[in-house]
Structure 1
């Protein structure tokens, strides 16, 4: 905030994003409370044990039921049961919703619509002109405004590396569709050509970094 060129505008913009992000989260929670299918999907996304489940390809059980409450609830939802009609399920759901609400309050995260974190690679093929990038998703749905499956071609986009401490660490570039790169999905390809003749790559302009497994 202190490095913003217009601090008041920055404050208003961040406040707007916070309100929008909270509204989206609260609407999702309301929908999950009233519909078993929405509840199943919401709990799956919020399940803190989901990554571990993917790694082990298994759900931890104890006494014939899953160890973690999110898995318990989703198991029952998978059987077609409704948390609004069963007290046991309703109590589990309430605890999950309560903890999620506390998390939103204590660990407020600002979500930016029409954005994504992707790994960066240089343009080894040399087909991108200076200040150009290529990005394509196998599937993409924006959680803020519902935008999905959009091909970027001749669109201006902002690229940055976390964290961007100075305005210059955020660069405006043009996303270009290239037939030579169509097989590349879920990454962003940066041009290796420099328009300033200073032999400075686009990645180096983002927090003075490189391509070492970094995300933009």
Structure 2
């Protein structure tokens, strides 16, 4: 009788310990599961946030590219060399430009023009008045707008339907058979390139090809 009672108590204690161990194991599993859920949530947030950031940057690049191309300049007409009546040297390069497409005005007050030939490279400075009907001064290393066509205002903004006629005066005068290059860089938009060869100069104005 005593032995049976002893074995019964042992069986009860063993069953109680197994139940306790099973409950503890379930709690651990719940903690691990919660930890996995939290880590997964944090990781998902990081991935989504990175995706949103990349998307935003892509949109910024696209909008910037559209803005750049929207205000591109384009040449109109020919490029002409103006010679000095005394020396016969080419002292001024005249050309015209307008908006190639789009309606975004271009501020010529912030324009940069770079000139180069086979022996030199220089950034031409704006004429103090920017708009100068006389054009730029020979050998001055400057440029100027000497005529506005279809302009509705007297400012330095080139708008759709308008045309600006410019003159460029490098410090080093181009000579015969020289290849000259002008890069007109607006503050926003694609630069306009002009490349011409100086042939035989005849008369006061010669078209460059």
Identify, as 1 or 2, the structure richer in strand: 2
- For normalisation by structure 1, the TM-score amounts to 0.19
- For normalisation by structure 2, the TM-score amounts to 0.20
Identify, as 1 or 2, the structure richer in helix: 1
